[in-house]
Chain A
Amino acid sequence: MTAYIIRRLLATIPVMVVVALFVFLLLHLTPGDPAAVIAGDDASPAEIDGIRRKLGLDRPIWEQFGIYVGNLLRGDLGTSIFSNLPVLTLVKQRLEPTLVLAVSTLVVAVAFAVPMGVLAAWKARSLIDRVVMGFSVLGFALPVFLIGYLLIYVFAIELRWLPVQGYRPLSQGLGGTARSIALPALALGMVYMALIARITRASMLEVLSEDYIRTARAKGVATGSVLLRHALKNAAVPIVTVIGIGLTLLISGVVLTETVFNIPGLGRLTVDAILKRDYPIIQGLIILFAGAKVLVNLMIDISYTFLDPRIRY
């Protein structure tokens, strides 16, 4: 087990090296002078020269990559061109809203989708099943910005139950945060719910046709217990996999959701950096998001060995 975890940990190294190389090369693969690209269209030659020296673009390319990786390993994601602040500092300032949004979305989605999937599988081919399946097809097609604006329109503008946009930090009380994050989490969670409900249903259907389920029913185990203790537990591996896959999909959704709801998180940081062409921030965020994705995949792989003791590597 420990050997497997270590092997799996080591396997993430080449992936992150490729990510770092790619992010590094992004600037150099562009046609023209990267310093001029960063400086924008109306920069003077002196400004361009300043940026070139600041980013170390005047050195040999292999040396630049060495310095870049060295900095990354020391936790230095670079420095913003405009604010002159380290990217890591900016990230720390914006981390809370994004984490709160991601965790709430995860909780909301799993809390709705797993019962939906279980119910659909239990009552297979019934009306409930059709409704759940219909929702799971529709959920994939609805873009997060459409759902987001629809939710704002209904719950914030028409009914006035919740704030229209913005984010209240945790330090100002949990209630305010919950109210400000409810609609974004629901909007972002929709695709995710569709995905989890679909897989939960499929996985449960397969398990429910097993002999031991029939045996459990025959010996008089209560339906709830059969569904949860016997079936759901054994159907868990694909469900956890898809929750993990969804978590990585969520990262792209976060950028869009934060824009719709005006949440000052990492997504807004990304968009603002794009508009200002603040390249070190974009590079730093790509490394960070890719790292998060790799970490999630690692945790999913390790969780298998706990969920299904038969899985041994």
Chain B
Amino acid sequence: MTATIEAATATAGSRRFEWARHNPTIVIGSTILLCLVVLAAIAPWIAEDPLGFDPLNRLKRPSAEFPFGTDQFGRDVYSRVVYGARISLIVGVSVAVIATTIGLLIGMLCGYYRKVDAVVMRMMDGLMAIPAILLAIALITLMQASLTIVIIAISIPEIPRVVRLVRSVVLQVRGLPYIEAAIASGTRSHTIMARHILPNTVAPLIVQATYVCASAILLEAGLSFLGAGTPPEIPSWGNILSTGRSFFQISPWIIFFPGLMLAITVLAINLVGDGLRDSLDPRIARRL
């Protein structure tokens, strides 16, 4: 009782502080992410040309002039890593938006219309059986590699997972009395879906989107590392890692700095995801 009164009388500021204290992972994760977004946004002011060749300064150790060293073409690894943040963030966010939007649409239709469900879910099962990295590789090799193709190729293997999630929510909600009531009172199907079912999918979808974003960033880096991802002239973290591969023993810094940034970014996104999951779905939080 006292707690309620206290909460009610507390100022907005201290309430916000309370929320932050209970969700430390979201605060830490989103702070790191915010820094990364700022870094990516101000890249032209804090970094040199990421493509600038400098034959005199090949494979230089990290120093005051080149904080992260240089690669075999004398390109500044620091500048490349800063610009690479742009690519990773673009890929992560785009894939998360594309995969969740398409997955939401297909999942809603599957959960609501049983006939669609049988056919589409078989297709999704087949798609899910193919390892994401191979599916993406196959799609990219066939098309002319570009950032857009990479984003599409990474989105496709992520879609079935979103579809399964949305479908399970729809199936759960469909059986509830208020949906029956809506059907009985003659509400049209698309209104039921948009007004009564869609809101239930939002919370799990947001959590799923963060995980899709993290896995997309890792997948893009992996594909580029293998030489089958983002075109090599674009300084993505995966491409920097890929150029560092053959010189690893003499210049390990070309691999370590982009690798570290990748790990920090994915960690930050996962922290936000875990925090959101715990605060949006207390049932799962208790289990994990």
Contacts and interface: CB of A to CB of B under 8 A. Distances in A.
A157 B249 contact: yes
Interface string A114-148: 00000000000000000000000110111111100
A290 B122 contact: no
Contact of A141 (B222, B241, B270): B270
Interface of A is mostly: helix
Contact of A149 (B143, B226, B227, B248): B248
B266 A22 contact: no
B256 A143 contact: no
Interface residues of A, number: 53
A47 B129 CA distance: 34
Interface in B122-160: 122-123, 125-127, 129-135, 137-139, 141-143
Nearest to A19: B126
Interface of B: 122-123, 125-127, 129-135, 137-139, 141-143, 214, 218, 221-222, 225-228, 241, 245, 248-249, 252, 255-256, 259-260, 262-264, 266-267, 270-271, 274, 287-288
A294 interface: yes
A145 B225 contact: yes
Interface in A180-218: 198, 202, 206
A19 B259 contact: no
B266 A140 contact: yes
A-B pairs, top 8 by smallest CB distance, nearest first, are: A18-B126, A146-B259, A141-B267, A252-B133, A141-B266, A290-B129, A30-B142, A251-B131
Interface in A237-278: 248, 251-252, 255-256, 259, 270-271, 274-275, 277
A53 B226 CA distance: 31
Contacts of A290: 126, 129-131
A153 B125 CA distance: 40
A141 B262 CA distance: 8
Contact of B259 (A149, A259, A270, A283): A149
A228 B224 CA distance: 44
A269 to B, nearest CB: 12
A149 B256 contact: yes
17 contacts: A26-B138, A137-B271, A141-B214, A141-B270, A143-B218, A143-B263, A145-B241, A146-B263, A149-B256, A150-B256, A153-B252, A251-B131, A259-B245, A271-B227, A271-B228, A282-B137, A286-B138
Contact of B141 (A153, A202, A274): A274
A15 B142 contact: no
Contacts of B134: 251-252, 255, 270, 282, 285-286, 289
Contact of A206 (B125, B143, B266, B287): B287
B172 to A, nearest CB: 20
B47 to A, nearest CB: 22
Interface of A: 14-19, 21-23, 26-27, 29-31, 37, 137-138, 140-146, 149-150, 152-153, 157, 164, 198, 202, 206, 248, 251-252, 255-256, 259, 270-271, 274-275, 277, 279, 282-283, 285-286, 289-290, 293-294
Nearest to B267: A141
Nearest to A133: B288
A145 B267 contact: no
A202 B262 contact: no
Contacts of A30: 142-143
Contacts of A16: 126, 129
Given A137-B271, A138-B267, A143 B227 contact: no
Interface-centre pick from A18, A21, A141, A251 (highest chain B CB count, 10 A): A141
Nearest to A267: B226
A277 to B, nearest CB: 6
Contacts of B252: 149, 153
Given A141-B263, A255-B134, A293-B131, A149 B126 contact: no
A157 B227 CA distance: 25
A274 B226 CA distance: 9
Nearest to B255: A149
A140 B270 contact: yes
B137 A270 contact: yes
